[in-house]
Structure 1
Amino acid sequence: MLFLELVLQNFGPYAGRQVINLDPRIAQNPQPIILLGGMNGGGKTTLMDSIRLALYGQRAQCSTRGNLSYSDFLTQCVNSQANPADKTRVELLFEHIEDDKPIRYRIVRTWEKNPKDGKDALGILGDDDTWPVDSLVNIWDDYIENFLPLGISNLFLFDGEQVKELAEQETPPQIVIEAIRGLLGLELADRLAVDLEILVNRKRKELADVKDLAELEEIEEKLRQQQADYQVIEEKLAIFKNQIEELEIIQREALDKFVSEGGKIASDRHQLELQQKEKNHAAETIRESMCQLAAEALPLALIPNLLSQVQAQGVKEFRYQQVQLAKDVLIERDKRLLQWLQQLTIASEQVEKIESFLTEDADNLYTGYSQAEAPWLLADEESLSQLDNIRYHLQNTKVSAKQQLANLKSLEEELIVLERQVQTAAEPEAYQKLREAVEEAQNQVVQAKANYETTRRSLADLAETIEQTKKELSKYTTENIDNKSREHIITSATKVQETLKVFRDKLTLRKLNKLEEEVKNCFLYLLHKSDLVFRIAIDTKTFALSLFDFNGKPVAKHRLSAGEKQLLAIAFLWGLAKVSGLRLPVAIDTPLGRLDSSHRQNLVEKYFPAASHQVILLSTDTEIGKKEVETLRENEAIAREYLLKYNSATRQTTVLENQYFW
């Protein structure tokens, strides 16, 4: 399908007749992007609404309609300065394949201000825009559902706010879930199950007599009421689930605030003060021990050189004393020897030589000691021994002092840290408020979970009751109706429903497995961090996304940045479009949202040119700016450019062709 032309006449801020060529095919070089630039309030969203209005009329989910009736909405869409006699007109020319041939239709919707019948006039023109196709007018809603159903239109015609909403919620909104089911073809099985149920009920009524019919209708009414109650409780359960998620976020924020503002430290204040007291006592003990060391031999560590000199001097003097004693002993011995020699018959000359030798030998032996300085220390052997003991004790004392000094320094550093922690602790009043906020958030989460669990049990009980009612309905038919042909239909329908349920489950798994792979590939393709996610899982009921890393561990969605969440939402929509196999145009209003520069560049280069064969972008100058538009031009991705020029004085918008902000 291709949108070829959009015509707006007196629609919203578009005064007069303005034509926008949307055909992306230029010569033989198709370029997918149709770029329309406009400032906020300049008519971008109105232009998107005009496409929806042309396609779906009264069923269109337009942004500005809200709770307005269709008549009031059409009146609101009329240009404020239009001539009352002029009609407001929206035309959309599109092309799609029918019976393997391209066919064009032009949808024309016209209305006047305050339409009398409360609706527009619809016309469908054929290939040459001249002959009307009246046969399509009455069945148009059914016809458009064949190739662009309303339920899935939001997955192809979406805006940045829709992406933002999808990115922020843990589970997609119900309207998106229904669109996903339609896009994946899952609603066909549900529709068939409902049709079978209707068929079975009709056959029961055909077989029942008056009394049986009344009882049968009573059971059916009970079943309908139970199913309605089930739907209400199911919606209530979803609300409680969302409430739990929101309250858990509030609880995390309260805990973070409790920690960041000193609440945790304040709760440990008493323990910290006890630690302070213990460490102060330990430090004081070390100081007293060091004072005792300082009162003993430790101060001598300040004069190690003097101690060494004293010891050397003591050894020298002790040696000198020993030499003197030895000299005196030798001189006495020499005297006795000479006296003894004189008594022998030895010549006096020989005795004199011996005496001369002994005298000279003694002089030579003690020359070094005789030339030394006179003793002044006068230390005895016991004093020198004590000096050795002092030096040994001093060495051990120094080691002990260093160890105690290191311990004291470590304790003082720990005391500084403790003091800072105590100082950063919240004051009692602030601590009480922080604690109350945490407790209140925790209580709310507990209460919400309790409500959720109670509702879940009620839902499970009601499901069992519904099954019992269905069995009662089935049993009623079996026991009281004796028409074999119709009974066979009812029995067969029941079996078909069971088979259909299995088929639906398997179809869901098959489709979702393929969708999971496509979403993961699209997400990693758009993301600049390829190691963030290894696998993406999609819940078969809620279609909620779960992310897992390379170790198989879950990646919490709140850990993703706002930009990464938006890319994940876009990857989800892109993956859905790929899996559906439908070749439909993609129109995006305000596409870039809160993306940072790197994510924005990835989206511009990788997503926009590949999102579809036709991509209509409605952007402000800050989203697709000068850098982004130049990138798209260089890649030959833009087929046509338009500028929605808004005049604030007249509050009118003019479409300028072949122009953009730059």
Structure 2
Amino acid sequence: MIFLQLVLQNFGPYQGRQEINLRPETNNETRPIILFGGMNGGGKTTLMDAIRLALYGQRAQCSTRGNLSYPDFLTQCVNRNTPPTEKARIELAFEIIEDGKPKILRIVRYWTPDPKDGKDVLGILENDEWKDEALTNTWDQYIENLLPLGISSLFLFDGEQVKELAEMETPPPVVVEAIQSLLGLELSERLSADLDILASRKRKELATTKELTTLEEIEQKLKQQNEELEAANQELGSLNNKLERADKKQREAQDKFLYEGGKIASDRNRLEKQQNYFIEQRENVREVMRELAAGALPLALISPILTQAQFQAEKESRQQQAKIAQDILRERDNKLLNYITNLSVNDTEFDKIKNFIALENQQLEQIAVDTQPWLLADKSEINQLNNILYAINTAQFRASEKQAELEKLEIEIEALERQINSAASPEAYQQLKDAVITTQNEAAKVKAAHETVNRRCEELKRAIAQIKKELESYADESLKSANNQHIINSIAKVKDTLKLFKEKLTLKKLNKLEMEVTECFRYLLHKSDLVHRVAIDTKTFALSIYDPQGQPVPKHRLSAGEKQLLAIAFLWGLARVSGRHLPVAIDTPLGRLDSSHRQNLVERYFPTASHQVILLSTDTEIGKVEVEQLRENSAIAREYLLKYDSVGRQTVVELGYFW
């Protein structure tokens, strides 16, 4: 993926329409860095938010959103000086390779200060042509295949995120989620949950009416305990950041609902009704075409022959008319010559007139005897032939219209079929919907005391473990069917195998990640003898550093700059392990680095972090020395300066940098 252009219109401090070329090339020479310079509060973070908002819409993790609802956030993003007749608008054009061919997509989002239906309007262009509505409706799923939201923080990050990561003993939740997504750990957890559902179904199939009632009561109790535990855990976690964490969990549930087809499934009935309507219209069109085929349309097969017959009939008619005219003109010519003789015209002029009349009569005589007539059609037959040809042409025209209409209906039916097929199953949809509702309700419980919730969690865990034992005992003693019993027994073994598989997979993937992070960290450090290996904990994903003698290096021995380089190396290693060729955007990239570490980052990281690196810097981060070094190394493709007017509180994008 390569970002090509970002367009901002009445967004944040950017008034009017401002277009920014992001192509990483200069004079057909590829250079990775797009450099933006701007003072604090000048609109650098707004540019990063614009990219996130264009890609993910209401799922975007924008810096200024906080606990705002999506409609309130969109309203907040509209420039304060926007005329009432204009809208806020974001466009992001990027190039991808699909089926071995380059393709340019342009995301367009626009909204008014008071967004209709509480959301923006989304449109997708492919190679400057509007795509069909199906891609727009499934955009959340499509972008997840290109740049999943879970790992986007590895490619679109800011200096504050690096500082937080550098100071924490364990990575924050957003990085942990990215690691789990890259390692594929969520697949085994999802399969384990599916196995529980399968076991529950098999128990119900095998139980008697009384046993079924007992099982349902136990399972209902288990479900209730699980829901209470989930709510308590979410409440316990939300105490650390109150409404922000609760709101985040709500957005995650909504993202899953959208990503896995929940939105489309909720519209299934409408889509199916619309599809049935188009199918009915298609049948009506086919009926009209059958009626045409029962009329004059088949005669179109011999239309050339009928046209020839028409031409021959008209030709013979003209011959007949010429013969009649010939006799009349001959009598008139004799009278004319006698009249001219009485006028005493001289012989030369009389001969000229006589020759002219003879020549004209000769041409008329040629028409009369051109060919021997053979069709011998009378006037009524010619009229009937004309009517038949007219009916054929009319039938052909209507058939062409109906054929085009039929093709259009087929396209509409096929598009609706794709949307219906991409919808989630009823069971998965219900689970997604329940998860959304549950997280929405849990947002109201953030004021519970930490110790009380923690004790409640422990009690629920013990109760759930006891209920699971009861279920296992009940299954062992009461269920008699050998086949289903075998399935139930096998599920426990499969879950144990899954647990072992997850552990080994984690070890294997983390080993590769450790190698990448170690290589990146050693590459960025100016003290190459400080670190021999970076280890990653398999449960908490915390980083540990070891020197060449194999002794651990306490994290407090690292300087603030070295900690920040370690955090950058961690994010860089994760991005490399992902295997995705994606742009990297960094806001306030140098933070608290000293001159030596800053030199290493400028020289070694920025030019090689990706094929496209967007840097948003103040004049104190990438200063005159650093920018001249990047220019000398031919690393910068384009330079922009975000010029902020503090009086009008507006920002204008200009070419060039501070120096």
Common fold, TM-score beyond 0.5? Answer: yes
In 1, the alpha carbon distance for the partners of 2:224 and 2:566 equals 40
User: The residue matched to 1:117 in structure 2 has which SS?
Assistant: helix
1:532 aligns with 2:530: yes
For 1:20, the equivalent position in structure 2 comes to 20
Shift of 1:521: 1.2
Q: Are residues 198 and 24 of structure 1, via their aligned partners in 2, closer, same or farther at CA, if it must alter by over 3 Å?
A: farther
In 1, the alpha carbon distance for the partners of 2:32 and 2:540 equals 33
AA aligned opposite 1:17: R
Q: Are residues 236 and 625 of structure 1, via their aligned partners in 2, closer, same or farther at CA, if it must alter by over 3 Å?
A: same
For 1:218, the equivalent position in structure 2 comes to 217
Shift of 1:487: 3.9
In 2, the alpha carbon distance for the partners of 1:235 and 1:73 equals 25
User: The residue matched to 2:94 in structure 1 has which SS?
Assistant: strand
Q: Are residues 475 and 27 of structure 1, via their aligned partners in 2, closer, same or farther at CA, if it must alter by over 3 Å?
A: farther
Shift of 1:465: 5.6
| 1:548-580 CA distance string (max 9 Å, x none) | 223322211122111111000000000111111
Residues 12, 46 of structure 1: 8 Å contact kept? yes
| 1:85-119 CA distance string (max 9 Å, x none) | 10111111112233333322111111001113100
Q: Are residues 166 and 477 of structure 1, via their aligned partners in 2, closer, same or farther at CA, if it must alter by over 3 Å?
A: same
Q: Are residues 107 and 482 of structure 1, via their aligned partners in 2, closer, same or farther at CA, if it must alter by over 3 Å?
A: farther
In 1, the alpha carbon distance for the partners of 2:562 and 2:231 equals 34
Residues 22, 34 of structure 2: 8 Å contact kept? yes
| Larger Rg, first or second structure (1 or 2) | 1
For 1:279, the equivalent position in structure 2 comes to none
For 2:495, the equivalent position in structure 1 comes to 497
Shift of 1:205: 3.7
Shift of 1:240: 12
- 1:621-636 alignment, distance < 5 Å: 621-636=619-634
For 2:479, the equivalent position in structure 1 comes to 481
Residues 33, 607 of structure 2: 8 Å contact kept? yes
Residues 89, 109 of structure 2: 8 Å contact kept? yes
Shift of 1:149: 1.1
User: The residue matched to 2:29 in structure 1 has which SS?
Assistant: coil
Shift of 1:472: 2.8
Q: Are residues 508 and 453 of structure 1, via their aligned partners in 2, closer, same or farther at CA, if it must alter by over 3 Å?
A: farther
For 2:68, the equivalent position in structure 1 comes to 68
User: The residue matched to 1:154 in structure 2 has which SS?
Assistant: helix
The answer to which of 603-612 and 193-202 deviates more is 193-202
- 1:311-330 alignment, distance < 5 Å: none
For 1:2, the equivalent position in structure 2 comes to 2
User: The residue matched to 1:107 in structure 2 has which SS?
Assistant: strand
In 1, the alpha carbon distance for the partners of 2:558 and 2:207 equals 60
In 2, the alpha carbon distance for the partners of 1:236 and 1:74 equals 28
Shift of 1:21: 1.2
AA aligned opposite 2:77: C
Shift of 1:490: 3.4
Shift of 1:230: 5.8
For normalisation by structure 1, the TM-score amounts to: 0.64
AA aligned opposite 2:164: E
In 2, the alpha carbon distance for the partners of 1:86 and 1:454 equals 52
Q: Are residues 29 and 166 of structure 1, via their aligned partners in 2, closer, same or farther at CA, if it must alter by over 3 Å?
A: same
Shift of 1:53: 0.5
User: The residue matched to 2:117 in structure 1 has which SS?
Assistant: coil
Q: Which runs of 5+ in 2 are unaligned?
A: 242-449
In 1, the alpha carbon distance for the partners of 2:544 and 2:452 equals 26
In 2, the alpha carbon distance for the partners of 1:87 and 1:457 equals 52
In 1, the alpha carbon distance for the partners of 2:236 and 2:606 equals 38
1:573 aligns with 2:571: yes
- 1:639-658 alignment, distance < 5 Å: 639-657=637-655
Residues 160, 588 of structure 1: 8 Å contact kept? yes
Shift of 1:458: 9.6
In 1, the alpha carbon distance for the partners of 2:37 and 2:201 equals 57
- 1:234-273 alignment, distance < 5 Å: none
For 1:541, the equivalent position in structure 2 comes to 539
- 1:446-457 alignment, distance < 5 Å: none
Aligned length, in residue pairs: 452
Shift of 1:500: 1.6
- 1:235-384 alignment, distance < 5 Å: none
User: The residue matched to 1:113 in structure 2 has which SS?
Assistant: coil
User: The residue matched to 2:647 in structure 1 has which SS?
Assistant: coil
Shift of 1:77: 0.3
User: The residue matched to 1:196 in structure 2 has which SS?
Assistant: helix
For 1:187, the equivalent position in structure 2 comes to 186
1:145 aligns with 2:144: yes
For 1:604, the equivalent position in structure 2 comes to 602
1:36 aligns with 2:36: yes
In 1, the alpha carbon distance for the partners of 2:515 and 2:452 equals 36
In 1, the alpha carbon distance for the partners of 2:652 and 2:196 equals 54
Residues 126, 133 of structure 1: 8 Å contact kept? no
1:98 aligns with 2:98: yes
Shift of 1:649: 1.2
| 1:130-155 CA distance string (max 9 Å, x none) | 22231111111111111211111111
User: The residue matched to 1:8 in structure 2 has which SS?
Assistant: strand
Residues 33, 639 of structure 1: 8 Å contact kept? yes
In 1, the alpha carbon distance for the partners of 2:235 and 2:539 equals 16
In 2, the alpha carbon distance for the partners of 1:661 and 1:555 equals 40
For 1:115, the equivalent position in structure 2 comes to 115
Residues 591, 619 of structure 1: 8 Å contact kept? yes
The answer to which of 37-46 and 20-29 deviates more is 20-29
Q: Are residues 648 and 193 of structure 1, via their aligned partners in 2, closer, same or farther at CA, if it must alter by over 3 Å?
A: same
For 1:661, the equivalent position in structure 2 comes to 658
In 1, the alpha carbon distance for the partners of 2:476 and 2:122 equals 51
For 1:198, the equivalent position in structure 2 comes to 197
In 2, the alpha carbon distance for the partners of 1:472 and 1:600 equals 61
Shift of 1:660: 0.6
In 2, the alpha carbon distance for the partners of 1:569 and 1:174 equals 15
| 1:559-608 CA distance string (max 9 Å, x none) | 21111110000000001111111111111100111111000110011111
Residues 125, 133 of structure 1: 8 Å contact kept? no
The answer to which of 465-474 and 114-123 deviates more is 465-474
User: The residue matched to 1:504 in structure 2 has which SS?
Assistant: helix
Residues 123, 130 of structure 2: 8 Å contact kept? no
Q: Are residues 540 and 199 of structure 1, via their aligned partners in 2, closer, same or farther at CA, if it must alter by over 3 Å?
A: same
For normalisation by structure 2, the TM-score amounts to: 0.64
The answer to which of 177-186 and 94-103 deviates more is 94-103
In 2, the alpha carbon distance for the partners of 1:509 and 1:14 equals 48
AA aligned opposite 1:173: P
Cα RMSD (Å): 2.9
For 2:129, the equivalent position in structure 1 comes to 130
Give aligned-pair identity as a percent: 69
| 1:21-74 CA distance string (max 9 Å, x none) | 112144553211111111111111011001111111111111101111110000
For 1:51, the equivalent position in structure 2 comes to 51
AA aligned opposite 1:538: I
| 1:140-173 CA distance string (max 9 Å, x none) | 1111111211111111111000100111110111
Q: Which runs of 5+ in 1 are unaligned?
A: 243-451
